Structure 1
Amino acid sequence: MTHHATPSPCPAAGHRAGSDVTSPSSSGTKYPAAPHGETITAALALHWDLDNAEVTPLMGGMNSATWHVKRHGDEWVAKAVPDGPPAEQFRYGLDLASRVEETGIPCGAPVASSEGRRTVATDGHELALLRWVPGRELNGNDEDDMVLMGVTLARAHQALGTHPVTEDQAWSRFDLLAGIEDTTVLHARPWIRPAMETVVRRLRQLRPETLTWGPVHGAPAPEHFRLDPDTGLCGLIDWGASSPWARMYDLATVVMDAGGPDTARPLIQAYLAQGALSPDEVGQALIPLLDFRYAINTLYYAGRILRDDLTGVADRAGNEEQLEQARRWLVR
């Protein structure tokens, strides 16, 4: 997932690469190195008829690589994701982005290849060419921008619809302890295991199967919203962390990145005004879901610290700072 609680480097303004932190297990799976720029240039010419395109690398996310593509004044983003589970999730997100974009929200949806495909196989990766979404990133500290985030996220949720889940299906997404592949992460700091157990207990009490479920963005951080000053349209890009979830997962994520429930009140009210969720559901579930989001970050960054994984951060302090931010929320 990409948000302030997850490091995400800053590519060019039209589109941002995603870190796609989506699982509390966050194992250190090794994927093939990203394709070289020459490989991407050749693939764009072969599959999208973009001969002689100018291809410039962008700062990639944790599990992806991106390039700015320019030709005859037109712009796109090329994104490559490793084969396997990351590519499966990538394709799912591309489908959602296309569906939401059809309702008028710019999403950086994929451009079909000359063969009519959304992605093509390229050097151990799935490659997509994404529409360029112009505009500036929204500011999670600005009240007007928070309102735009709330409205845009709610409209995206409404465009994607809902579906019921069983108790077992819901809990399979929320059981933090069952999802951990390497249990040493629970002992990286003395406070981690007790905090995880507390979060699990609160989630059990919430009964997550009673929440509103459907396809969600997965990482609606402020930097993934784009406001075009020329058209006034607000877009939502980078759908690489998408999956079926409770809508509250998305709302909790953006509230977390906007400074917490008190600071993000304008965002919450704007979201509620669209009718995507009821005030009762948000009031009941927001704090437990914020707990869950910080718990995911705890396991993720603790794992990165244990592996000395510096992908996407400037130095070791970046991982430590994010783990400390999670601790401050959870140990209260």
Structure 2
Amino acid sequence: MTNLAKAAAAEWGLGDARLQFVAGRENQVYRVSDASGDYALRLKRPGYRTRIEIESELQWMAALDRAGILVPRPVLSLKGRLLEPVDGHLVDLLTWLPGQTLGTLLAGGSGADAEALFQNLGRHMALFHIASDAWVKPEGFSRIRWDGEGLLGESPVWGRFWEHPLLSVADRTLFEDFRAAALRDLHRLQDQLDVGLIHADLVRENVLLLGDRIGMLDFDDGGWGFRAFDLATTLLKFMDSPNHPALRAALLRGYLGVRAMDVEALDLFLALRAVTYVGWVVPRLGEEGARERSHRYVATARHVCQRYLSNPPDH
């Protein structure tokens, strides 16, 4: 893969630059460094996203950068293109953002620090949503949809979670019951829910802090969806933390201080976010450590779905 990365980097005039492998899941990501600076070279997994979807992602990120949102900025190739085909892979190049991830900072911070970070993150989420709404989308713009169909339909974005092959009978029944209730509640709430472009993967590894500014990485799964889904994605990973209520309150305080949003359905979106991971892991069950990860995802989803079904929203 390194030879492929070097060939890809050459499309941006960086064939002799230093390459460092960073991550490999949906994309193979390399840090590319030379005298002109540092960049992120992303080799896309064939078939995960269409060309137009990736080009739309890059156009969106460029628009966010122009609006002052801290995101990696797409770099045009020597041919003046955002995306280049290299040996069966679609490849792009982004500026490298310095800073520390939210996860790294939280690992060494105090509770008060965490609340301040979450309030600042909520503020930046709101600014990100405002900038996404203000941007006039180009003709042909296309991204995935985390709407009712994308979350709970017959072919969800991340798979039919209620058919996970390792589910117990009780868990399968629970997830089927939750799916029916969530479909009903989304339909009932459809006129009051805030919908637009969302990041859809603002976990702590994808949130970068640079001074007082907060950056957002990895827009692979960004698309059209419910704005509360972005907040739920961040909060879900902290469900077991003793300071979860304080972090939730801080995130909402930061967001609502900048932008209005109905957050009464946040518990619904916590459950929706949890079950997507149950679906996501199914095609990856053969990977090393996937069964342990699957067990954690199912346990989290079981907890939040049981809580949601036992405390339904007012009708």
TM-score range, shorter chain: 0.7 to 0.9
* Cross-structure match for 2:285: 308
What SS does the aligned partner of 2:251 have? helix
Question: Which amino acid in structure 1 is aligned with residue 148 of structure 2?
Answer: W
C-alpha offsets along residues 118-166 of structure 1, whole Å, 9 cap, x if unaligned? Answer: 1101122110111111101114671121112111111111101189xxx
* Cross-structure match for 1:147: 119
CA distance in 2, matches of 1:87, 1:297: 22
1:185 to 152, 164, 168: 164
**Conservation of the 8 A alpha-carbon contact between 2:151 and 2:276:** no
Alignment of 1:204-283 (within 5 A): 204-207=184-187, 209-210=190-191, 211-229=193-211, 232-259=212-239, 262=245, 263-275=247-259, 277-278=260-261, 281-283=262-264
C-alpha offsets along residues 179-230 of structure 1, whole Å, 9 cap, x if unaligned? Answer: 356974266322134323324313422325322211111101122121113x
What SS does the aligned partner of 1:57 have? strand
User: Unpaired segments of 5 or more residues in structure 2?
Assistant: 137-145, 308-315
CA drift of 1:92 comes to 2.8
CA distance in 2, matches of 1:67, 1:268: 35
Using the size of structure 2 for normalisation, the TM-score is 0.79
CA drift of 1:238 comes to 0.9
**Conservation of the 8 A alpha-carbon contact between 2:71 and 2:217:** yes
Return closer, same or farther for 1:78/1:203 CA change in 2, 3 Å cut-off: same
* Cross-structure match for 2:3: 38
Question: Which amino acid in structure 1 is aligned with residue 250 of structure 2?
Answer: P
**Conservation of the 8 A alpha-carbon contact between 2:197 and 2:224:** yes
**Conservation of the 8 A alpha-carbon contact between 2:162 and 2:176:** no
Return closer, same or farther for 1:198/1:161 CA change in 2, 3 Å cut-off: same
CA drift of 1:91 comes to 2.9
Question: Which amino acid in structure 2 is aligned with residue 268 of structure 1?
Answer: L
* Cross-structure match for 1:66: 29
CA drift of 1:259 comes to 3.1
CA distance in 2, matches of 1:147, 1:194: 34
Alignment of 1:152-191 (within 5 A): 152-161=124-133, 170-179=147-156, 180=159, 184-185=163-164, 188-190=167-169, 191=171
Q: Which has the higher contact order (CA 8 A, sep 6+)?
A: 1
Return closer, same or farther for 1:323/1:219 CA change in 2, 3 Å cut-off: same
User: Unpaired segments of 5 or more residues in structure 1?
Assistant: 1-35, 164-168
2:267 to 279, 282, 287: 287
CA distance in 2, matches of 1:176, 1:295: 13
Return closer, same or farther for 1:186/1:193 CA change in 2, 3 Å cut-off: farther
1:194 to 153, 174, 189: 174
CA drift of 1:85 comes to 4.5
CA drift of 1:177 comes to 4.7
Using the size of structure 1 for normalisation, the TM-score is 0.75
Question: Which amino acid in structure 1 is aligned with residue 149 of structure 2?
Answer: S
CA distance in 1, matches of 2:71, 2:178: 36
CA distance in 2, matches of 1:315, 1:172: 26
**Conservation of the 8 A alpha-carbon contact between 2:203 and 2:237:** yes
CA distance in 2, matches of 1:233, 1:105: 9
CA distance in 2, matches of 1:81, 1:150: 30
* Cross-structure match for 2:44: 81
Return closer, same or farther for 1:254/1:322 CA change in 2, 3 Å cut-off: same
**Conservation of the 8 A alpha-carbon contact between 1:298 and 1:323:** yes
Question: Which amino acid in structure 1 is aligned with residue 251 of structure 2?
Answer: L
**Conservation of the 8 A alpha-carbon contact between 1:174 and 1:203:** no
**Conservation of the 8 A alpha-carbon contact between 1:176 and 1:196:** no
CA distance in 1, matches of 2:223, 2:149: 13
What SS does the aligned partner of 2:67 have? coil
Return closer, same or farther for 1:178/1:86 CA change in 2, 3 Å cut-off: closer
Return closer, same or farther for 1:107/1:196 CA change in 2, 3 Å cut-off: farther
CA drift of 1:42 comes to 2.0
C-alpha offsets along residues 258-290 of structure 1, whole Å, 9 cap, x if unaligned? Answer: 438624210111111111x32xx112x211111
CA distance in 1, matches of 2:175, 2:290: 26
**Conservation of the 8 A alpha-carbon contact between 2:161 and 2:279:** no
**Conservation of the 8 A alpha-carbon contact between 1:217 and 1:243:** yes
The alignment-based identity, stated in percent, is: 21
